[in-house]
């Protein structure tokens, strides 16, 4: 009888174990080789560059730091309120941990646009434990055009050095307006991963049209204006690296995280060469992320190559939905992986 009962107990235990295991995310054989843990690979800065950061900003940064090299956060860029997060939810049953938002249409007096829309979206996603990342396709501050591309506006960023110039005053006015929006999030205890002046060294945006010195100065002026003048302490500052842009880098005291925008259609490799180079360039002290991408890296390649990107974020539209860039099967694979953090797996980082 004891033997029979023991067999019964073993059978019940096996059934319970199998059932419990089936509720967890799967790990494919290709994912079994996990990257070496963060403490053995990196020496990430312990604190944010902002003095006395908000509780939530610090908690978010520590969360990113603790997971760096252990897991990757999923993200997606949006154009209209939750368009891509909803599409992913409808088609995969999951949503990404990070939502990408843009101040592109703000402060332009467009009668068709609600300037508070991105702020509302950021707060709503944060309340669900998601992470808002903001970029700013900054339209011509002079208002002579509605453009941000270098070949469509003659706005002169070099005037950032002339405090009496109309251009300087226009840039400061725009920074002040965006700071006001970010203050609303600060008041609501919402931290923001803030990625201004992205892809500057590429030269295709006006903020990169006059070379490294002017752009570097604008980034530093923006930091000073937002942090010291407006007392914003809920921001995590990201510099978006371009190849060979050492002279453009604002400085370690202005940057928390390094981003890299990678557009290689159909390439789902880990981009480990870029990761390794960036990690070395910044002395293993700055986390690095795929701040934008066309085709996202396959999780099997990320784990195989130990490419410890903090997050990945495909752009909206076809980059998210078209299989030429990212197939639905790949999205499902990513979201099912134990290495990829989705919205439903995010802890509350609130006070």
Between 74 and 10, whose confidence is greater?
Answer: 74
Q: What does the pLDDT look like over 199-247, one tens digit per residue?
A: 999 999 999 999 999 999 999 999 999 999 999 999 999 999 999 999 9
| Contact between 101 and 84 (Cβ < 8 Å) | no
* Number of alpha helices (DSSP H) and beta strands (DSSP E) in the chain: 11, 9
- Is 199 a catalytic site residue? yes
Q: What pLDDT shows up at residue 27?
A: 52
Q: What is the pTM of this model?
A: 0.90
User: C-alpha distances in angstroms, 164 versus 119, 154, 157, 167?
Assistant: 32, 19, 14, 9
pLDDT in tens, 161-178: 999 999 999 999 999 999
pLDDT tens digits for range 111-160: 999 999 999 999 999 999 999 999 999 999 999 999 999 999 999 999 99
Mutual orientation of helices 212-223 and 166-187 as an angle, nearest 10°?
A: 40
Query: How many angstroms separate the CA atoms of 274 and 260, rounded?
Result: 9
Q: To which residue do tokens 């226009």 refer?
A: 170
How many C-beta atoms lie closer than 10 Å to residue 37's C-beta? 12
Question: Could you tell me the pLDDT band of residue 24, with boundaries at 50, 70 and 90?
Answer: very low
pLDDT greater than 60 at residue 17? no
Identify any residues that bridge with 235 across adjacent strands, giving them in sequence order.
192
| Catalytic residue list contains 31 | no
Determine contact, residues 126/132, Cβ cutoff 8 Å.
yes
Q: Which of 31, 95, 199, 274 is catalytic?
A: 199
Residue 320 pLDDT more than 50?
yes
Residue 137 CA to residue 302 CA, distance in Å, equals 29
Residue 1 clears pLDDT 90, i.e. is over it: no
Q: What element of type H or E holds 218?
A: helix 212-223
DSSP, res 114: -
CA 299/CA 293 separation, integer angstroms: 14
Q: Which domains are present in the chain? A: 39-342 (3.20.20.80)
Residue in 179, 156, 168 with CA at minimum distance from that of residue 225: 179
């Amino acid at each position: 009888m004891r033997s029979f009962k023991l067999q019964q107990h073993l059978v019940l235990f096996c059934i319970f174990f199998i059932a419990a295991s089936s509720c967890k995310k799967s790990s494919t054989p290709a994912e079994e080789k996990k990257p070496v843990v963060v403490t053995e690979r990196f020496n990430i800065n312990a604190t944010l560059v902002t003095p006395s950061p908000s509780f939530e900003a610090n908690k978010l940064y520590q969360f990113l730091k603790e997971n760096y090299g252990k897991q990757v956060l999923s993200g997606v860029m949006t154009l209209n309120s939750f368009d891509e997060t909803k599409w992913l939810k409808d088609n995969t049953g999951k949503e990404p941990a990070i939502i990408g938002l843009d101040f592109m249409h703000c402060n332009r007096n467009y009668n068709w646009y609600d300037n508070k829309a991105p702020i509302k979206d950021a707060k709503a996603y944060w309340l669900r434990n998601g992470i808002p990342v903001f970029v700013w396709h900054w339209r011509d501050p002079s208002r002579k055009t509605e453009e941000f591309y270098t070949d469509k506006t003659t706005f002169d960023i070099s005037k950032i050095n002339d405090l009496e110039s109309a251009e300087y005053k226009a840039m400061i006015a725009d920074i002040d307006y965006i700071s006001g929006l970010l203050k609303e999030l600060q008041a609501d205890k919402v931290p923001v991963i803030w990625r201004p002046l992205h892809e500057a060294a590429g030269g295709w945006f006006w903020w990169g049209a006059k070379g490294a010195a002017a752009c570097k100065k604008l980034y530093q002026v923006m930091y000073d204006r937002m942090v010291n003048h407006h007392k914003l302490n809920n921001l995590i500052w990201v510099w978006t690296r371009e190849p060979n842009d050492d002279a453009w880098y604002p400085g370690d005291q202005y940057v928390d995280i390094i981003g890299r925008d990678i557009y290689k259609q159909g390439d789902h490799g880990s981009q480990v060469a870029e990761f390794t180079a960036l990690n070395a360039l910044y002395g293993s002290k700055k986390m690095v992320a795929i701040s934008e991408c066309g085709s996202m890296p396959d999780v099997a390649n990320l784990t195989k190559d130990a490419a410890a990107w903090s997050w990945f974020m495909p752009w909206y539209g076809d980059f998210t939905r078209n299989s030429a860039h990212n197939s639905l099967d790949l999205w499902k694979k990513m979201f099912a992986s134990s290495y990829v953090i989705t919205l439903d797996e995010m802890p509350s980082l609130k006070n």
